[in-house]
Structure formats: C-alpha cells, structure tokens
Structure 1
Amino acid sequence: MKNIFKIVIALLSVLFVSCNADAVDNRPILEGLTVPNITAPTTGKTFVLAEANATTEVDKFVWSPAEYSHDVVVNYTLMMDVKGGDFSEPQILATTSDVTEASVSVKTLNQAGIALGAVPGTASQYDIKVKYNVMGTETMVSQNTLTVTITAYSGLVPYPHTDWYLVGDATAAGWDTNKGNQPLFRSGSNSNLYKFTGYFNAGYFKVISKLGSWAPMYGGSGGSLVYRATDSDGDPASINIATAGYYTFTMNVQTLTYTLVAYDASAATVYPTVGLIGSSRTGTGAGWDEDTDMTPSSFNPHYWTLTVSLFDGETKFRANNGWDVNWGGDTAFSGFPANGTSGGNIPVAKSKYKVFFNDLDGSYLMIPNQQ
C-alpha cells in the first residue's frame, strides 16, 4: 500500500509540473510596438530662468506613448544630461505612470542644470530623453533627443550657518585641516551650540571652520574657548584627551565655553548599515521604500557620511534597511534630537548635500550647495 501511495504522489507531481509548464508556454508574449518620442517643446528651445519664478511652470513636456502588444501600465521618466552625455547619471525632471506629459517647474529645471555643472548666468545646452518600462521588463529609452539651452541662476539654498570641524592627533584627520575632518553637529534650535559624541585618540584637538585653513579656529582649556580669527592672531591651546575612548564634546560660541565628558559606548549597537530614506529621494526613483546607504567611518563605526542630490521633501535615517530602528528630527540642516531613535521627518530643500549622521545620539548635519 505504501508503494502504491508513493507512485500516485509521483504521478500527480509530474502532472502538476506539466500543467505549470504548459501555463508558462501559453502565456502571451509582450512585444513592444512603438517607442515614445518627445513632441513638445520643440528642440532648440531656450530657457532663461529666474529665481523669482521658481515655483511656476517652465514648460509642459509631452511625448508619444509607448505601445505594446497587450494592455500594460507603462512607467515614464523624463531625464536630462549635458549635451552629448550618455545618460548614465542623468537628472530626473519628472516621473509618471501611463501619463505622457509632465509639467516641469523653473526650480526643477534650474536645479537639474546646476547639478549638471551649469554656470549661473551662462547659457549651456542639455539633452532631454524619456526612459520607459513595463514592470518586469527591460528599461528602454526614447529614440529622439530634445536639445534645449538653459541659462540658470545660482539656485543655492539659503544656509546662514557656520560649520566647525575637528582637527588634531586625537581625531580621525590628525593635524591635517582637509582630510575628511569630522564636523560638529549643530543644534537645530540654537545655532551657537555644537556637539560631537564619538571616539577620540589620546592626544589633542582644536576646531576649525574653513577646511584647509588654520583660521578661524577655537582652542581652549579648563572649559573656556579661545577664538583665533586670522592666521596673524595667537594660536590658542589645544584641548587634551588624556585617555583614548568615547567622549561628548560640546561648545557654545556665544558664551565661549565647552564641556568634555566621557561617554559610555560599551552597550552601543554597531549597525551593519545606516541609510537615508524619504520623499526627498523621490526624484531619483527612491522614496520611503528604498534606502540610500551611507558610508561608516573606519575610525568611529557610529559616524556615517553621504554626498547626495536631494529633492524638496522630507527625510529620515534608519538602520539595516528596516523601520525597527530609525532616527529623525524637526529642523532643516542639523539637529541632535533627544539622544534616541524615531523622531519627526527632517525637512529638505532641493540641493546636493554632504550628509553626516551619528547613530549614538541621532545627531545629523546636512550641508547644501555642494558641487
């Protein structure tokens, strides 16, 4: 009886595989019939952009639909590159689903040009194409190229802040003033208050505000800061780290005071990955479902960096590509919220940023207007 049962199961298995194979063989083959072409605006059009009109429509871009042998949903991406570029790293102007037109704002077109190296006030030429695909199929690119001339404005995000960086043999950069120096994180509510929690070697350090220069600078001793405005001013004392380990350094440039307190990092988790996520990534095709991974420091595994182009929107940080551990904030550019996980969504204005993050206390710093 047991052998008969095994034979029946084997026959059913063969029939099941055969039926599935037949189903696969009988699936309709999806064939592309026509590719989209940009029909408006016309090639050769000139755009002279003005910041006063940033939120207005610069033009409506229209293309013919991609046609397939069966009814499918087609996803389109309107993208721009320098004239003659290969579109390997294009700027995204718009994305649509089954819609063959997109309204592009002055700001979006301007920032795309700036990201591609436009010199404000100087006319430059750019190529625009449409990328398209159906879920599960290879991405294709439109046959024709629209070439336009753009005169961009600076498009800089207002950033009325001063950043300060660690330098010294107690820090990752050593006494080099331009070697990936770790920045201090600035309070989101008090622009005079700065903090850094992390690993220090035994040795000394100071802080500088202009990478590659020894002034302006702060040094000090006994909790009092000493300011050096120019190279011709006296050199302040270096702050001493007597024993290697983790410390929290805080300084207030208004009261000219600092604190240096040992920090217990023995129970701190070392995360395999930390990523940036949010609606500010939408223009790149990412959003709230996909991280952009940051790079950890080899000197301090809790300190992360990333250079990235972001769009108007919101962002957060999260560990291990999941929502179990995440960090946010309520203020643009910087903050050190509540020494813990979670928090609000950080507001972001469209620009290219250097992003710094500390997973020990949730501190973040996002410096805009990068080249």
Structure 2
Amino acid sequence: MKNITKSIIALFAVVALSCTVEDVQDRPVIQGIETPELVAPQNDKLYTLVEDNADNVAERFVWSAATYGGDVEIGYKIMIDVKGGDFTKAIELGGTAGATQIEVSVKTLNQAVVELGGVAGVASSFDVKVISSLAGAEKMTSAKPLSILVNSYTGLIAYPFTDWYLIGAAVQGGWDNNADTNHQPMFRITSAANKYSFTGYFGAGNFKLISKKGSWDFQLGRASATAIEVNGNAGEFTIATAGYYKFTFDSTALTYTLVPYTGTTTKIFTTVGIIGSSTAGGWNASTALTKSTFDAHSWTLGVSILNDGEAKFRANNLWDDSWGGKTAFSGGGTGDNIPVAKSKYVIYFNDLDGSYLMIPNQE
C-alpha cells in the first residue's frame, strides 16, 4: 500500500512539472486528515523552575504524528500561550522536522512564561499546542490544548548600571519628566560604568539629567565650570547657542566637559535598523528604528525581544554604513558584533559616533 501511495505522489510530481501557468490551480494539494495531539506530559503538570538549572531540560514534549495522506516529512512546532488564549500571540518553544518529540530547556520555558506575563514565584496556567506544516498543505493545530502550571523565576539579566536621561528646554522631551516621554539617555562608550557621553543636537536653553524617567528624586547637574553634582535639586547646564555638542561626565570623579561637536552632521540617513542573530530577522533583514524629530542622528526602538546572539546597526538596509561594538548593553565606535543576552530591551542609537544603549529587563 505504501508503495502505491509513493507512486501516486510521484505521478502528482510529474503532472505538476508538466502544468502550464494557466492550469496551476488544477495542481493536486495534499490535505491534512489527522491533527497532531500532545500525549506527554500529563495535563496540569506543575513546573517549578530554578534559575541555577537554566540549561537543564524542563520537559520532553511528545505528540502523535499528523497525517497528510502520504509518506512525507512533516514539520512541527510547539507553541505556548496564556490559559484560554487564541494562540495569535503564542510563543514557540521549539520545532522539529519529522520527529514527534522535543526537549525544552528550563531557560526557554521560563523566558516564554515571562514574556506571556507570568509572575515570578506564582504558579500560573498556560496552554500548549502542536502545529504541523507541510509544503502545499494547510497547517494543522492540536484540537485540544495541553494545560501546564509554571512557577517561573524572574528571568532578569544582570544590569549593574545607572542610566541618565537628558531633561530640559535644550534637549529632546523638554522639562516633562513623564515616564513615557522619549528623553535622550547618555551612552557608556567605554566599559567603565561611571563614564558617560552623548554627541548630538542641543537647543538654546538649560538642561540637567534624571536617573529615572518620571521622578525628580535623583538628579545630576552643573556644580561649576568643570564639576557636576548629584542630589535632589541639581544645578542646570546652559546652552547659549543651538547646535551640535559633545557632553561627557564621570559620575565618580564628578567632572564633565561640554564642547561644540566639530565632526560632520550633514550626512542624514533615511533608515537605521538593528540586525543580527539576536533579532527577529536574523542577519537577513533589519528591524527599523524610529528617527528622532528633534535630532536626525538619534534613533530609538521601543520594547523589543532580542534572543541570545549578536547584533549590529546599519543604515538604509545596506552594509555601506554599519556600526557595532564589543560590549553588551552600551558601547560603540567599532565594527564588532555586539553580544546580546535574551531579554526585552529598549534600544537607543546615535549615528554620529555609532554609540548604542540597549536597556534590558523591560515590561
């Protein structure tokens, strides 16, 4: 019987190759006749995930094979969604080509649960389904989801840095300290956690810095011609003439410089995007950033998921102008691939000097 089936499929292939454009709609399409269904683990199994075991296997999911009426290799994906979800925003736990089981690590399961809104230390319910696919046929999804309970850990990655945001009449966002206002942050160009720099456009007026958007509690400002202060009512820096400036400070030595920028500012890019193995498009497609309306050289990307891997920035979806760095989270000025750990990030980029800031652990 199997040989007869193979012969029929081979005949279909010959017919398909001999068809013209006009009769493409008459080509045979294999239709699914049995959906894949999860058979392990048991329903409502509880997983208490521990960060120290991140690389261990959390579970081996096993399912029955889908059938498409022929001896063909079928692709499968395991998807997880919130309890009762419609799987339109489900997260993939892994996939196979032909095999009907897959091992999912503690880290992968935990990250998916965190992204779906799971609360660390609280057992929450989630639904898991299998999706099968085959070229020329409709995808088939499990008729019934398998429910699991997951007690996750935070999944936050270590980020031992203080970020500083420009605020005031001379900078983007003005004096509004609302958490949703798109204030320009300072970059850490070196590996030192206390040295900050920003090169960009400043309007005429005053400014200072805050460490947390939406709060005036922790401010950094001018103490003298060369010194800064950090307190609840810090002094203001003054820009007499609008233009491009380079502003740097050392939060340990409490010193700063504010000087006119002498490099070129006339090269304006249409688009700048992030690309790499950690991004949604891999190395094949950039994810576009948003250009600032205040400074044409400043770019941002709202809360976005990046995976373990690497990334770079490039302009106009080409490699003629690209930027990278050697350090995670913040850096710039080199052509290296930026190391990235899986998390949700808010991303800032400056095309004047290639500086970047990628703040992890976002909601």
TM-score by length of 1: 0.85
CA contact (8 A) 2:326 2:337 kept: yes
Measure the CA separation in 2 of the matches of 1:138 and 1:247: 57
Asked if 1:296 is matched to 2:291, the reply is yes
Segment of structure 1 superposing worse, 100-109 or 46-55: 100-109
Cα offset, 1:137, TM superposition: 5.8
Give the aligned residue type for 2:157.
V
Change (3 A) 1:310 1:132: farther
1:329 and 2:331 matched: no
Shift, 1:149, TM fit: 0.2
CA contact (8 A) 1:218 1:225 kept: no
Hey, which bits of structure 1, 4+ residues long, moved more than 6 A? none
Deviation at 1:290, TM superposition (A): 2.6
Task: Name the structure 2 match of 1:198.
Answer: 200
Tell me what 2:345 maps to. 353
Aligned counterparts of 2:89 and 2:262: Cα–Cα separation in 1: 43
8 Å Cα contact 2:219/2:230 also seen in 1: yes
Q: Figure out how many residues of one structure are paired with residues of the other and give that number.
A: 343
In structure 2, the residue corresponding to 1:206 is in which secondary structure? strand
Instruction: Give unpaired runs (5+ residues) of structure 1.
Output: 1-17
Larger displacement relative to structure 2 (186-195 or 21-30): 21-30
The alpha-carbon distance between structure 1 residues 105 and 19, as it changes in their structure 2 partners (threshold 3 A), is closer
Partner of 1:365: 357
Distance in structure 2 (CA, Å) of the matches to 1:188 and 1:95: 39
Q: Given that residues 188 and 332 in structure 1 are in contact (C-alpha distance below 8 angstroms), is that contact kept between their aligned partners in structure 2?
A: no
Q: Report the Cα distance in structure 1 between the residues aligned to 2:275 and 2:70, rounded to whole angstroms.
A: 35
| Residue 215 (str. 1) matches residue 210 (str. 2) | no
Q: What secondary structure, in the 3-state scheme, does the structure 1 residue paired with 2:227 have?
A: strand
TM-score between the two structures when normalised by the length of structure 2: 0.86
Q: Is the 8 A contact 1:216 1:227 kept in 2?
A: no
Letter of the 1:31 counterpart: Q
Structure 2 stretches of 5 or more lacking a match? Answer: 1-17
Query: How far does residue 111 in structure 1 lie from its aligned partner after superposition?
Result: 1.4
Contact 2:125 2:147 in 1 (8 A): yes
Q: Partner residue of 2:300? A: 305
Deviations 1:129-187 (A, max 9, x none): 22343356655433221110000112211111110000000111111123221110113
SS in 2 for 1:24: helix
Instruction: Output the CA distance in 2 between the equivalents of 1:119 and 1:242.
Output: 49
What residue is the counterpart of 2:174 in the other structure? 174
* Secondary structure at the counterpart of residue 198 of structure 1: strand
Question: How many Å apart are 1:75 and its aligned residue?
Answer: 3.6
Q: Equivalents in 2 of 1:325, 1:99: separation in Å?
A: 43
Conservation of the 8 A alpha-carbon contact between 2:35 and 2:66: yes
Distance across 1 between alignment mates of 2:96 and 2:271: 31
Partner of 2:9: none
Secondary structure at 1:33 match in 2: coil
Rounded to whole Å, the distance in 1 between the matches of 2:142 and 2:221 is: 58
Residue aligning to 1:257: 255
Which segment is superposed worse, 55-64 or 32-41? 32-41
Gap change, CA 1:225 and 1:134, over 3 Å in 2: farther
Aligned-residue offset at 1:66 = 3.2
1:129 aligns with 2:129: yes
